[in-house]
Amino acid sequence: MKAGSVVVDLAAEQHGNCALTKPGETVVEHGVTIIGVTDLTSRLCAHASQMYSRNMEKLLFYITKDGAWKLDFKDEIVAGSVITHGGEVVHPKVKELVGGAGAQTAGAA
């Protein structure tokens, strides 16, 4: 990330999604500010659910076209947000956690 960027690690309470997160602290590493507050829910604005729903709406518009799924797994956003596809676990981290490349979702043949 460029110097001056800011990361707000929403998972800081569980030791974070960013390797440099320090739970309960705000740190600057390589010019990037990493916010690792563990009481984030008490700090959120009244419109957090509206912001979240707007983000989900934009994501759905991004991964669909003319009412159909448009999933390009080479796209960073798609690859990072889709967990399963066609009865298979496709998200690399989840696949690793549930047992490798052949992992199937429940009910898949």
Cα distances (Å, whole numbers) of residue 9 to 37, 40, 45, 82, 99: 8, 9, 16, 20, 27
Please give the Cα distance from 43 to 90 (Å, whole number). 34
Report the chain's mean pLDDT, rounded to a whole number: 88
pLDDT digits (tens, 9 = 90+) for 2-26: 999 999 999 999 989 999 999 999 9
pLDDT digits (tens, 9 = 90+) for 23-64: 999 999 999 999 999 987 777 776 788 889 999 999 999 999
- Beta-ladder partners of 27: 34
Domain boundaries, the chain: 6-43, 48-98
